[in-house]
Structure 1
């Protein structure tokens, strides 16, 4: 008797059946148009594309354009590749355009399917990204499908690692761009570290089609992409700065124990500047207030903090030559925790222990959050149904199973379960021998490279020739997979390997033709193809008679999807095939499943050594175990994403702010608002609301105004005037600060001032964001312990993350205001001195007219052009320049200082 659910499915069909039926009318319309488009000339196809672009960009929806665009694309592909898309491929293309995952079996032509939605969406003029799992496939698919797009009048680009910037920008400006998920994510991060719009590569995130979507959006989604700063070893700098700190006297700095902060006084600044010049850390003619001195000032400040705010055996201890922090609440050592931003290194210098360099996270993003940037996302794979819930919940992607063009004829055998792995391997070898004896090609799937090699050794002992697929070499991988369908071939592959290239029975014709032409370039391509196709047809028939491809899996994976991927390699396009899984109670999943109970069952059945149990119940039990493991992994990924979402909201806010700053012509209003907010903050701090004048800290206010606004004002005198309140003093401070900035703008010139504001804003945002990322990393690593105090770690992380972000914005306002108040145009005398210095350097660097080198002028710096003294120096090759000082002339011969030319900081 049929259950109600089964009965309903028989009458109404499954939800998937209804989705597939819903696009029948659209496919029928495309087929009706085929005759009309086949009559067009090659130029006519391109003219149709231009017409569609006008209509799309004029407001007509892409859904309305779909039948005509798909018909045009089908005709373009038929002419360019000799491939006419089947109806099921058109259906797959429609589902992709709708923003779904199209689950299509191996060999159904997913690469061609992607051209339809890519072409249609490219008509909008915003760019389409086709995402692949490796660089080889990105280049291969781009080269192959560019013939289709070219025939239709569209451009194709491919993005790959270490690509020249100009080429990369051009690739992203193309109508359709092929790239790997890694490169897209890294380019997104790199773009948001650039200093101007012109330097950015990507042009937005409109529509992406992700090939092998399960691999990219699920398997690789656990690992974030991280761009780290260079781990510079500055031990020498920390040590030199540390020697200077004990020379400071109380008049040189102000210590605020309440806020645990320490700042230099004006007297202290002068002393530090003089001493840094004397010990050679501050170049001659350079002030502590110059932008080039930022890093040095930071190190000196951190050295001061290390000496005045951190006490040994109180905030930290030294054990085994390592500085270990102490938790102020528990008094326990916090092993592995380090203070950020160079402070830990400053303490290590103070204590005379080894100074450890630190890698700084400059930017990071997870694939989950990167791909959710796209206005529309779609994906293709042979296996997605088992993860349909995750795709829908995380990415809003539905999964549609697209029927195969021909019915699947593969025979899927029940799992064979052995008691020990030794018995299992013996069974596998016997099975391979039997299939190989009749010439049946065999693909053996393993779960790791180690197990592949172990099985390879067993096959060698039996004298069975075979290939082991090396997943590290993509080109070799494609070749081995292409040969895996040949008569008598035995191929061992890890589950993750062999994607992107079909296993065709009898071997891959295209690959054979390419190899033959490469071996004999003078041969006639048509003749070579005819000969190879004739040989292939004969071999294919022999393979078909032997039963088609046999997929033999040596273990069940945690995920049913990975098992289905392997099984799907056999039985492509209606070919016969066979699949079998060999398991043992010693396999990882079987141990998780509970092999003890199964072991008792097998013993009770009186199984002899070497026998296997084969029963549908075993399959059902294993599927349930796999479903549990999949659910657990989904929960872990979901929890990770919840934590990353906190950072992602902040990342988007920072990146959009950077973009606005780069796009803006005039930032004077933004920096003015920041300055006014800083004024509000200092007034609230030193002249609290509803307080009396005798409660005001006018000395503190005077010092804060001097430090943050660069204004030495008689604040104490103002406070004694009759009727003066906080608002009056605020207005005076705003007016004085506006006057100072107007004076600076007049000195620099309006255009230069706007550029200075933009650069200071961007540099400060980047520095603060890097520091913030490190703090969030540290918070994330310790917040889990809050669970022991019955507090939700995620809620704690959200609350503290938000507070840290607010703190970032506050300190950003203060830093920008402070830097702008300190920047000043050079006086005429300083400008003349700088010009003279440049001239002297140029004279020193110029070649002497006499054969013997002329002595350098006395006024020239001692090392004006150190790279010239190097053997093998080449002006055009930076690797031969040695290590030029930042104030030296650039070795490239431009006449500019190194720091303004090739040594310019990004």
Structure 2
């Protein structure tokens, strides 16, 4: 991991280049993109274009979105471009870093994939302002996706990208694939995607049969250039390096945060903890401060919801589109099972969402509304709400900002830091812990159980920290073992997909490589289309059988926690099945060729 202060290697050159841009009209600014493309085509490297590209994107960010990236953010974007994981505090700063790196990478002409759960609106706006073609995958029909992937920048979730990858490798005709080769990806909220979801499987199922699957981690490792941005990366720098080869660059915040992170409160048992937490929420509610409680589990969330409701402190409903849209309003109480990814809590409430909510309440339907009527109604509602929203926001800040309370300590420190980040720069945080929490499980003396007040003592704190470090090591070790198991199948999948692509593009040569040269006269008599169709049917039939046998093996090892001592045996068994599949494939193709009658009509 790098030092906390990024090295200032580019800021001077960027500033010098940027001084020449301020006087340009918007169209002239966008026109500079073509000049950078031409320089790249003439042989200049992206590193040689970096200063001019970043200066251009910084000026466009200011004009299009009213945000001017800081020097630290420029350096972080350079690190991301060179294949690092950047830890960046603040949603706006992170968006600026992603945008700078995406714009530069797009000049290569090979496509940049921005992997995001929220559509990356800042990146979309700035890159389009500069004349790049930007497409979003969300909601696109299959026939529109090829054009989306041909764009300079393509934005979508990891599920969208990995699903299209699997579909592309099941195509039956040349030209059906929608993706280009996986070249450059920038992952937003990267710790959740790369670490927490790294072993999640993305599958394709046809009529109840799983015909393809890939883990999130294995999909992302296909990219020639992978990088990411997140608010919490430094604590897991070793994991990013080990699993993905990504160094971590920590970017100092533009201004020191005023958030207050209070020491933990430890209780004898969970019931004393819940009572204290509900009492604290009541106090903050009476003071008018918004509160978010992160339960840590569904069971804890249900118990807390019941306790809060009995005190007439029922948590507010969370709209699915904007889970925390109301969470920053005065007196709001929000109960989460776990921290919400990649979302900033806006003090006073999310004004855009509040405006949409008002228009919806009036009976207007965004789908049925004619032309721009919906957008105009939302804009009018926003203007009407703006004065009151400003007053509410100022009041919440004066009261001390947002309060975030954790009902359980989270084993990875990274997740706890993410929880605290919800409070933003003005709020405060505190964790409530009991000695019978799953993570702690410390023995409680009988007389201590009668104590409802917080328990203090350095021995308890040290014991808890020891338990957490042990839990962190166990989580990391299981993840690494899981990646090792997934890599076994990844080798075979890559070999099979490459061979299947050969069948699509040159079926005669591909089938000869499997069945042998003696079949060449017959294959030529059959013709390209017939050979391709028959070969793909044989290939997929054997591959699906292999997948089913592999699924049983893999899920058994996964359920046992991916035991390290079983890895060598698992690799051998999978290899045996793969070689058996290849032999069966050759046999199947040879048998089908021998039964083919060139005199028999095929239509």
TM-score when scaled to structure 2?
0.90
Contact 1:671 1:817 survives alignment (8 Å): no
Matching residue of 1:776: 550
Determine which of 329, 335, 350 is the counterpart of 1:508: 350
Matched, 1:99 2:83: yes
Matched, 1:215 2:192: yes
How many Å apart are 1:174 and its aligned residue?
1.5
Matched, 1:363 2:212: yes
Contact 2:499 2:510 survives alignment (8 Å): no
Distance in 1 separating the partners of 2:530 and 2:52: 52
The 3 A distance-change label for structure 1 pair 614 and 401 is farther
CA deviations on 1:585-608 (whole Å, 9 max, x unpaired) are 2221122xxx11xx24x95xx786
Contact 1:156 1:175 survives alignment (8 Å): yes
How many Å apart are 1:526 and its aligned residue?
8.2
Say which one has the larger Rg. Answer: 1
Which one has more relative contact order, counting CA pairs under 8 Å at least 6 apart? 2
1:304-703 equivalence runs, <5 A: 360-464=209-313, 466-469=315-318, 474-477=320-323, 481-497=324-340, 499-514=341-356, 532-572=385-425, 576-591=426-441, 595-596=442-443, 599-600=444-445, 603=447, 609-614=451-456, 618-664=460-506, 667-676=507-516
How many Å apart are 1:150 and its aligned residue?
1.6
Determine which of 119, 128, 136 is the counterpart of 1:150: 128
Matching residue of 1:72: 56
How many Å apart are 1:108 and its aligned residue?
4.5
1:105-124 equivalence runs, <5 A: 105-124=89-108
How many Å apart are 1:673 and its aligned residue?
4.6
Contact 1:452 1:468 survives alignment (8 Å): no
SS at structure 2 position matched to 1:103:
strand
How many Å apart are 1:506 and its aligned residue?
2.4
How many Å apart are 1:569 and its aligned residue?
0.9
SS at structure 2 position matched to 1:36:
coil
Matching residue of 1:711: none
Distance in 1 separating the partners of 2:43 and 2:502: 27
The 3 A distance-change label for structure 1 pair 558 and 577 is same
The 3 A distance-change label for structure 1 pair 620 and 821 is same
Determine which of 166, 172, 181 is the counterpart of 2:143: 166
How many Å apart are 1:658 and its aligned residue?
1.6
Contact 2:77 2:100 survives alignment (8 Å): yes
SS at structure 2 position matched to 1:474:
coil
SS at structure 2 position matched to 1:38:
coil
Contact 1:560 1:623 survives alignment (8 Å): no
The 3 A distance-change label for structure 1 pair 800 and 587 is closer
Distance in 1 separating the partners of 2:16 and 2:462: 46
Contact 1:415 1:615 survives alignment (8 Å): no
CA deviations on 1:754-778 (whole Å, 9 max, x unpaired) are 2222222222221111112222334
For structure 1, which segment, 188-197 or 534-543, has the greater mean C-alpha deviation from structure 2 after superposition?
534-543
CA deviations on 1:789-823 (whole Å, 9 max, x unpaired) are x9953222223333332332233222222222322
The 3 A distance-change label for structure 1 pair 424 and 791 is closer
Matched, 1:810 2:591: no
The 3 A distance-change label for structure 1 pair 669 and 513 is closer
The 3 A distance-change label for structure 1 pair 437 and 209 is same
Contact 1:482 1:502 survives alignment (8 Å): no
Distance in 2 separating the partners of 1:89 and 1:486: 30
The 3 A distance-change label for structure 1 pair 529 and 674 is closer
How many Å apart are 1:197 and its aligned residue?
3.2
Contact 1:209 1:378 survives alignment (8 Å): yes
Distance in 2 separating the partners of 1:554 and 1:815: 59
1:119-130 equivalence runs, <5 A: 119-130=103-114
SS at structure 2 position matched to 1:170:
helix
CA deviations on 1:443-493 (whole Å, 9 max, x unpaired) are 111112343233222222212353154xxx63041xxx1322222222111
The 3 A distance-change label for structure 1 pair 619 and 551 is farther
The 3 A distance-change label for structure 1 pair 617 and 561 is farther
Contact 1:495 1:562 survives alignment (8 Å): no
Aligned length, in residue pairs: 590
CA deviations on 1:811-843 (whole Å, 9 max, x unpaired) are 32222222223223455xx69xx8xxxxxxxxx
User: Any gaps of 5 or more consecutive residues in structure 2?
Assistant: 365-372
Matching residue of 1:696: none
CA deviations on 1:712-740 (whole Å, 9 max, x unpaired) are xxxxxxxxxxxxxxxxxxxxxx5xx656x
Matching residue of 1:729: none
RMSD of aligned alpha carbons: 3.0
Contact 2:356 2:378 survives alignment (8 Å): no
Matching residue of 2:570: 797
Contact 2:439 2:471 survives alignment (8 Å): no
Contact 2:327 2:345 survives alignment (8 Å): yes
